[in-house]
């Protein structure tokens, strides 16, 4: 791959540019990943896949919020054994890395799914630790440093590919979870998953989503996600992917300055699939204007004393 100001070595992944499709947006088909890659994404992250097929929650699963959306899909997915075929096919047509998002109900479960994804050709695995934990209904695995470390250790031992942990913002101090993940062997972190939220209908006087609560994403959460990245980068040297409300090049630059070296784009892709290209072009112009030779030159600049 030709090296230029935009290309970046991220935790061993060769990215042509620092933009990635965030998990949960384009389903599971190789064709949709191909479309995203052709639109300029530097990597694609799949929707989360588990050990068994799941149908997910009843409708409504998505509701519009102020400058964002709230969703509670219930992790619908075909199960890893079906999905491995799509991973294999994706590898034959994609020229950018495919990162498989994995969820589970125990450390063993996570490790088994991650291993199947890696064996099928996933270039990296991203752990979704924001799903409710079975033994602790309503809580997220990603809220407990101990559970998180256990999962990361077992997945790390099971695969030979970069391991990315997507952290939850629904915690008091995200650096505690970042530390647990890094010490347990995470190669990189994604900051962050969705914020827990609810929408209530004044007419029916009831929650709108069938699951009542869901995850908030989009522009409204950018300042929170940016703060999470900044907090982690302030304490650790780990590679970070910024995620939360990125919809234009300026948002992407802000995440790079906060300490991320790549960004994921989710909600904004639904409005404009060309968003990857426009962000990459905008970042390139910005680097030129600021006399920076590469993305790496501006990562974390907002931390200078």
- In the complex, the residues that contact ligand DHB under the rule CB under 6 A are 71-75, 128, 130-131, 193-194, 215
Nearer to ligand DHB, 20 or 299 (CB): 20
CB of 119 to ligand DHB, least distance (A): 24
Distance (Å, whole) CA 55 – CA 300: 41
Query: What are the backbone angles phi and psi of residue 28, rounded to the nearest 5°?
Result: -125, 5
CB of 245 to ligand DHB, least distance (A): 13
Which is nearest to 262 in space by CA: 220, 224, 294, 285?
294
Distance (Å, whole) CA 80 – CA 112: 9
Nearer to ligand DHB, 72 or 120 (CB): 72
CB of 265 to ligand DHB, least distance (A): 15
CB of 175 to ligand DHB, least distance (A): 20
- Chain residue whose CB lies nearest ligand DHB: 215
CB 118 within 8 A of CB 126: no
The dihedral formed by the CA atoms of 186, 193, 176 and 145, expressed in degrees to the nearest 10: -70
Nearer to ligand DHB, 71 or 190 (CB): 71
Catalytic-labelled residue, pool 131, 220, 228, 243: 131
Nearer to ligand DHB, 225 or 298 (CB): 225
Distance (Å, whole) CA 228 – CA 230: 5
Whether 243 is a known active-site residue: answer no
List, by residue number, the catalytic residues. Answer: 131
């Amino acid at each position: 791959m030709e090296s230029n100001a935009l290309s970046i070595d991220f935790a061993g992944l060769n990215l042509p540019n620092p933009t990635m499709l965030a998990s949960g947006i384009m389903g599971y088909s190789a064709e949709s990943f191909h479309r995203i890659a052709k639109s300029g994404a530097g990597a694609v992250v799949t929707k989360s896949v588990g050990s068994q097929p799941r149908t997910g929650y009843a409708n409504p699963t998505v509701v519009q919020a102020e400058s964002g959306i709230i969703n509670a899909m219930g992790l619908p997915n075909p199960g890893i054994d079906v999905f491995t075929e799509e991973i294999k096919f994706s590898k034959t047509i994609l020229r950018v890395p495919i990162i498989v998002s994995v969820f589970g109900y125990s450390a063993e479960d996570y490790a088994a799914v991650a291993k199947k994804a890696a064996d099928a050709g996933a270039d990296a695995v991203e752990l979704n630790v924001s799903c409710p934990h079975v033994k602790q209904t309503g809580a997220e695995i990603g809220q407990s440093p101990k559970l998180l470390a256990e999962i990361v250790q077992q997945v790390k031992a099971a695969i030979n590919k970069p391991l990315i942990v997507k952290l939850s913002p629904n915690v008091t101090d995200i650096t505690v979870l970042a530390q647990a993940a890094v010490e347990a062997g995470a190669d990189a972190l994604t900051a962050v998953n969705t914020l827990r939220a609810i929408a209530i209908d004044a007419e029916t006087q009831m929650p709108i989503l069938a699951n009542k609560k869901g995850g908030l994403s989009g522009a409204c959460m950018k300042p929170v996600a940016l703060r999470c990245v900044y907090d982690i980068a302030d304490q650790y040297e780990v590679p970070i992917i910024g995620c939360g409300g990125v919809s234009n090049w300026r948002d992407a630059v802000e995440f790079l300055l906060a300490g991320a070296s790549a960004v994921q784009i989710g909600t904004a892709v639904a409005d404009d699939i060309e968003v990857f290209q426009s962000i990459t072009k905008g970042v390139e112009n910005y680097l030129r204007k600021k006399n920076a030779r590469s993305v790496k030159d501006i990562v974390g600049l907002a931390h200078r004393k």
